Structure 1
Amino acid sequence: MAAVVRRGERAPRVAFAGAAHSHAFSDARNLRALGAEIIGLWDVDDPSRAADFCAEFEVSAVADRDRLFTEADLIVSTVRTPRAAELALVVAESRTPAFFNKTVASTPAAYAEWTAAGSAPRFTSSVLRFAPKLVALAEQIAGGQLRTLDVRVQHSIAALLEPRSWQDELTGAGGTLVNFGVHAWEMVDVLLPGGRAEILDGSAAREGLPTASEAHGTVRARIGTVEVNVSVSGVDGTDVYAVRAVTDRGVRVVELAPGAAELGYHGAADAMLELARGGTPAVSAARTAAVYANVFAAAQTARRSLC
């Protein structure tokens, strides 16, 4: 991360909306390390996590959402997914730039609501989009011919079964193939920008876990002439975020190591503060639309095997 506050420049003021999961805490730490001022939190769903957030960052929980938003240079949203569209409308009315942590919708209809909520500058993304090794891989294969792309995302859903079960629910954050599928398809988009996938086949299984969604799923797809294979799992074990790209110049394999910098948290914080300073959203609406279209299509296809 590079220091964002220049000599004579006022520290960007950042308001947080929601403390539904860990990204509120990680984003606040990274933004504060860049010199931003965390000015408050609005939250109505997770009082215990909100109290922890306020204690760590020495801010108050604010009931007047509209006032908090208009006083900020940037809003960071970490609300529960079903609140994202409503919040996007409020953010648009405040005209304050905003970053929405994933996942902003669990269905195509909900995503349409989120995108239709005004025109204030905002974007959403998985932090993995900013992972340095993934960005470097995109640069390495640029200008060549990508033949096959294999993407693997593994993140245990144990913590989502209790107490954060809303993330495992299809009407909450969409379950494993949507909530963590966003990570996988964001990684695909870094290497195949804006690519809309034709989902050829897929499968999913619960593996005996007490999940409302699935323990894992895989799909085989095609984007243009590129064969794309995506595996998303939530079984117990170490997190894995990996890519294998077969190109006309050879095979490239990238596995992201644990750590905020490696996983893209620092790059995401830089992108947020660039937006706060009047910059262009780091991810275009068209590319986000492609990511979510792929997420929903892949989940729908893989889940047919559960019926």
Structure 2
Amino acid sequence: MTETLGSTGEFGLIEAVTKPLAASADVLVGPGDDAAVVAVPDGRMVITTDLLVEGRHFRQDWSSAYDVGRKAAAQNLADVAAMGARPTSLVIGFGGPAELAVSWVQELYQGLADECELVGAAIVGGDTVQSEKIVIAVTAFGSLEGRSAVLRSGARPGDEVAVAGRLGWAEAGYTVLTRGFRSPRTVVDAHRRPQPPYAEGPRAAIAGASSMCDVSDGLLSDLGHLAVASQVVIDVHTSALVVPEPLQAVAAATGVDAMSFVLTGGEDHALVGTFEPADVPEGWTVIGSVAEGNEDRPAGTVTVDGAPYAAATGHAHFRS
């Protein structure tokens, strides 16, 4: 007989998912008490949170519970890295229907834990509740290790725009899945489990990044956040952007412009930042430039090869 949330109950579920969890050096008190205790050596902590709703952010017929866990952790850990911080811990809020198998939740938490292991972070607590749909709320914490946080508001005219990580892969995977296919496997896997370049966040901060964010909603959309916060103009140079073969194959098969995957596709959680030309870290790719605003291109604008981008620039919540 399959154990379900209804037959196991809240405390049985909590024990089932927290017993296998590993701690880390940052965690002084982990799951089991009313709250966790996490070390904050320099007195500051980076905090971010995300919410995933079944049917909106993931589908069980597209992704396994383990995949969902990896993705849920990744999008939060990437936000911490985008501040130039090192992720230390996560707390998880989980809601699900009573008939959901306990094994599904255990696989979810294994995915969360395995993604945390990539950066040395740990799951330190959370909450569970019954709900009609599966809902996962993840809050991540990070340490700046004595550095200043890298904000969106620091880009300066004369800076170069550079990116670390993949662009467009998850969107190509989503395009394939929405058409009922499961290949190319590489892009479908990219949609299921992003691969953020976590270590590049602190590296960029140490190198002197003036601004940074992760690419969750699309390159142009997220660069728009930097442009508005910094009150500058950002121009993206398509000649510097490479469209990998799997993305070209999906574009050819679906009638989509391959470059649009790279420019507007989200959920790969690459890191994009601005640097003085001499400060761009090795391994980052320069893809654009920062300039002052003027009458033709007001501050807060993002252009592509010097001109406005005609199509939607990326995902926007609540946009119909």
Larger radius of gyration: 2
- Verify same fold: TM over 0.5: no
Length-normalised TM-score, structure 2: 0.31
Length-normalised TM-score, structure 1: 0.32
